[in-house]
Amino acid sequence: MSVTLLTPPDLFALTQGGRMEATFSADGRLISTGTKAINKIAFGGTPLVEGQHIVLRWGSQLVELIVRTTPVEPYEIPAGDVSDAHLTAIIAILKDYYPLREAFTNFRIHVDTEGFLRFRGIRFDARQPGTAYMLVAGQQGNVLTLQPLAGVNPTYRDLYSVYVEVWMQTPGGSTNPDDFVRVTEQRLDVDAAGLASIDVGEVLHPLLDVDWPTWNVPALERSKNSGRAYFLAFSEAWGNPMRPGCMQRTEPFWAYLGGADYRRRADGGFSLTGRLVGATAGADRALRLGTDGARYLAPDATEYLTFLNTRVFLASVRLDCTLTFDDNSTATFTNLLAPSAWARGEKLTLPVGPLQLGLLAKVPAGRYLREYSVRLYSGSSPISQAYRYVLDYARRPWSRPFAYLNSLGAVATLTGWGKGASEWNRFGELAERALPADYALQEGEYSEYDVALQQSVEVVTGFRTKADLRGWFDFYRSPHKLRLARQGAALLPLPIALASKSIKEAKDGETLYAHAFSYVYRYRESYWGDDEPGDAPPPPGFQPVGAVSISLPQVINSVDATVPAVARQLTAADLTTMKQVAAFGNHATQGYLNQQLGDQLYVPKAQATQQQSETGTRLSALAQQLARLQPIRARATYVAPTVPPTNA
């Protein structure tokens, strides 16, 4: 007798949709297999004649055979002299007759000898052990039914099952069994094949919680609540009260808060390691949905990456960051976050936003940060693939950053932009009060209590590509969402819940799309606090008398730090000129005169100067020759040529 873990859960799996089903095989339910009965129909020395009936009874079944000279029906057998040939013909009918074929097998001729008597007959075996397959003994004329071997029923243990315990690691504990606590014990009924199964993910999912990072302290953080180790202890058990046997224990497995969609959980469940583990440690992926290619971030964006160690314990893990500037020069930093140990099965969450890593302060003077990439290292070896971020300096007003727990159980962030609308929902109760005869006017006739305010906001995502907008669907279905507000330089994570029952999608007329949805803050304000220092801001159209000095409660920088300094020197005239030049379009496609065509039409300046010099010299020499010839031309007499006569 034993119980074996036939199909274990995946070593690393998500609690919902992951491969966390354990199947056990138990073979101790059967105490004895029982005995299959051997039955016999014995015939006397007289032949079987037309119309004779033979009744066979076993269990709750009854079959009546009729002897016929010419059998037609399936329950009819031929008449004859009970010779071997006659019995062979009867066997051919009995072994295919459905009631007998379902209960018995191995039909054959059998001869018993008692002294000088020989009893010929047909023997056959029961298909299953037990008394239900024994022919009722009795004599019917010259036919006798009997059992050379009686059937015996198999015996089973009462309420036989597999007893299973699930032990989970305490938050922050090691893989030592002393750091585990039993979270459930179950009695699993086995089926006819001796199999029993349990979905461990359903047991552990409610026991795991979100690991939010420390928002305003950049550091490598190990998850303690969203992923923990567990092991199974099991044995066979039976009886009432239950009596478990010797317990067996598995090696630790790891369960992580998260799940997979309908398509990926089909065919046995979602394989977490299949998604994360690369061909080498340097190709392992983060717990991030979407493409592994470049992401685009604002300079003040908040961003996180979460990794899972599926390999071996690492004594020291660090984050390397390579910065690329606008002139294509690069710089690499290895000390932006303090190194940390990383145990097998642990999740490691690290901030990778530009402000979180202090990257803008590391940009050389006169340069601008164009993009950067981050990668995990242990010593000199990479233990993850590189993740690239390109900075987007476009100014987008009314931006709203959100954080949420994605389907893989990691912290993810999104930023929407565009105008929104707020609404305050007021809650309160009124109770009528008895007024005394001398009541005061300000007391009123009703008392109000349990008064609170709750804010709901309707926002949009901003127009994006269809592929970029798909990332918001994971945000919509997540049960853990935060609105990341800012108080000065500090982040304020405010819990929210989606109030929209449907998400509206709009198109900009081209290829961009946007969603509109509403969310509500998951708390009510029974009291209000306002600790803003300084004076109240003046009202619109404020007209004081004389000089008034005020201290605003919050100084808003009127200079946008995302605008390059060189752009601040542009004047209105410069912008007008730039617009005119831009309106010209591409001269190469407008048919304007270019250098190549000008060289063909006009002589270059250097070449024209040389030709003018040579022409002047030649004209001077020609003038001198004409001056010498002038006296000779004056003395010469013109003589007309003689024209010879024309022959007639």
Same domain, 103 and 141: yes
Integer angstrom CA distances of residue 20 from 12, 152, 255, 279, 409? 9, 42, 8, 24, 16
DSSP per-residue string spanning 152-216: B--EE-TT-EEEEEEEEEPTT--SSGGGEEEEEEEEEEP-TTSEEEEEHHHHHGGG-------TT
DSSP 3-state of 631: helix
Amino acid at 349: T
Integer angstrom CA distances of residue 367 from 327, 331, 360, 373? 7, 12, 10, 18
* Residue 398 · residue 419 · CB < 8 Å: yes
CA-nearest of 362, 365, 316, 305 to 342 is 316
Last residue of a domain, one of 521, 548, 563: 521
CA-nearest of 39, 92, 48 to 66 is 48
Q: Which is it for the CA torsion 16, 17, 19, 22, positive or negative?
A: positive
Beta-ladder partners of 243? 238
Quote the CA–CA distance of 613 and 591 in Å, as a whole number: 35
Same domain, 161 and 136: no
Same domain, 37 and 149: yes
Residues 342-382 pLDDT 10s? 999 999 999 999 999 999 999 999 899 999 999 999 999 99
**In the predicted structure, residue 563 carries a pLDDT above the cut 80:** no
Parallel, antiparallel, or unpaired for β 253-259 and 12-16?
A: parallel
Burial category of 648 from C-beta neighbours within 10 Å (exposed 0-12, middle 13-18, buried 19 and up): exposed
Q: Which is it for the CA torsion 594, 599, 600, 603, positive or negative?
A: positive
Amino acid at 282: G
Same domain, 171 and 316: no
**Predicted local distance difference test score (pLDDT) of residue 421:** 87
Q: How many domains does the chain divide into?
A: 4
Quote the CA–CA distance of 548 and 298 in Å, as a whole number: 38
Same domain, 46 and 115: yes
DSSP 3-state of 247: coil
Ranges of H-type helices in 205-316: 272-276
DSSP per-residue string spanning 480-498: -EEEEEEETTEEEEEEEEE
**In the predicted structure, residue 610 carries a pLDDT above the cut 70:** no
**In the predicted structure, residue 574 carries a pLDDT above the cut 50:** yes
**Residue 648: which pLDDT band, with cuts at 50, 70 and 90?**
very low
**Residue 527: which pLDDT band, with cuts at 50, 70 and 90?**
confident
Same domain, 344 and 361: yes
Quote the CA–CA distance of 307 and 375 in Å, as a whole number: 11
Same domain, 464 and 489: yes
Beta-ladder partners of 369? 325
Same domain, 386 and 454: no
Residues 391-412 pLDDT 10s? 999 888 889 999 999 999 999 9
Comparing 164-178, 277-291, 561-575, 599-613, the range with the smallest average pLDDT is 599-613
Q: Is 444 left (phi over 0), alpha (psi -120 to 50) or beta?
A: left
Over residues 126-134, the mean pLDDT reads 93
Same domain, 150 and 209: no
DSSP 3-state of 517: strand
**In the predicted structure, residue 647 carries a pLDDT above the cut 70:** no
For residue 256, what are its two tokens? 């992580």
CATH number at residue 237: 2.60.40
CATH number at residue 45: 3.90.1160
**Predicted local distance difference test score (pLDDT) of residue 184:** 95
**Predicted local distance difference test score (pLDDT) of residue 486:** 87
Residues 47-81 pLDDT 10s? 899 999 999 999 889 999 999 999 999 999 999 98
Residues 408-451 pLDDT 10s? 999 999 999 988 888 888 999 999 988 888 888 888 899 999 99
Is 493 part of a structural domain of the chain? yes
Our separate counts of H helices and E strands in the chain read 9, 38
Residues 72-115 pLDDT 10s? 999 999 999 888 899 999 999 999 999 999 999 999 988 876 54
* Residue 121 · residue 150 · CB < 8 Å: no
**In the predicted structure, residue 20 carries a pLDDT above the cut 90:** yes
Which pTM does this prediction carry?
Answer: 0.74
Ranges of H-type helices in 470-588: 471-477, 572-584
**Predicted local distance difference test score (pLDDT) of residue 613:** 66
Is 598 part of a structural domain of the chain? no
**Residue 605: which pLDDT band, with cuts at 50, 70 and 90?**
low
Same domain, 204 and 283: no
Last residue of a domain, one of 259, 287, 310: 259
Core vs surface per residue 63-81: b (16+ CB within 10 A) or e: bebebbeebeeebbbbbbe
- Residue 568 backbone dihedrals phi, psi, to 5 degrees: -75, -15
Is 475 part of a structural domain of the chain? yes
**Residue 531: which pLDDT band, with cuts at 50, 70 and 90?**
low
CATH number at residue 300: 2.60.40.10
Same domain, 168 and 140: no
- Residue 202 backbone dihedrals phi, psi, to 5 degrees: -65, -30
Q: Which residue range forms the structural domain that includes residue 357?
A: 277-398
Is 314 part of a structural domain of the chain? yes
User: For all residues of the chain together, what is the average pLDDT?
Assistant: 87
- Residue 287 backbone dihedrals phi, psi, to 5 degrees: -80, 70
* Residue 26 · residue 3 · CB < 8 Å: yes
**In the predicted structure, residue 576 carries a pLDDT above the cut 60:** yes
Whether residue 553 is preceded by a cis peptide bond, meaning omega within 30 degrees of 0, is: no
Is 615 part of a structural domain of the chain? no
Last residue of a domain, one of 92, 126, 155: 155
Is 579 part of a structural domain of the chain? no
Residues in the chain: 648
**In the predicted structure, residue 116 carries a pLDDT above the cut 60:** no
**In the predicted structure, residue 243 carries a pLDDT above the cut 90:** no
Is 527 part of a structural domain of the chain? no
Query: Regarding predicted confidence, which is higher, 1 or 547?
Result: 547
Is 606 part of a structural domain of the chain? no
Same domain, 281 and 392: yes
